[in-house]
Amino acid sequence: MTKLSIKLGQRIKEIRERQNIKQVELAEMIEMEPSNLSKLENGNQLPKEENMERIAKALNVDVKDLFEFGHIKTREELLEIIISSLKNYTKNELEFVYKFLVGLKEYKK
């Protein structure tokens, strides 16, 4: 797995989910086995050029749109950004974030 394959897979999944298309449905639309599409979305392999074109067409986007993943961050990148941001917060702001996280944890139960 490369960073490119992971981010490309995440981007395909992101666009698919935004359009409320199930993975099985997209696989059918592009004439691909669902297990192979799953491998692409999980970043285990890069799509062939013709499959990339089919995916873009099925999702009604340009191929270049599949590579717009500057906003996609790894877990480590997200933690680094969050921790860096928190260092500049006041005590009251940190307490608010803490309460939010506690509430989120309770919500997830």
Q: Are residues 50 and 89 in the same domain?
A: no
* CA–CA separation, 90 and 74 (whole Å): 27
Same domain, residue pair 58 and 89: no
Number of domains into which the chain is organized: 2
Residue entry with tokens 């960073």:
3
At 96-107, the pLDDT tens digits run 999 999 999 888
* Same domain as 15, residue 33: yes
pTM, full prediction: 0.68
Same domain for 35 and 82, yes or no, is no
Check whether residue 53 and residue 25 sit in a common domain: yes
Contacts (Cβ under 8 Å, ≥6 apart) of 1: 43, 44
- What domain range includes position 49? 3-67
How high is the pLDDT of residue 61? 97
pLDDT at 31: 95
13-63 per-position pLDDT tens digit: 999 999 999 999 999 999 999 999 999 999 999 999 999 999 999 999 999
**Digit-coded pLDDT (tens) for 66-90:** 999 878 777 888 899 999 999 999 9
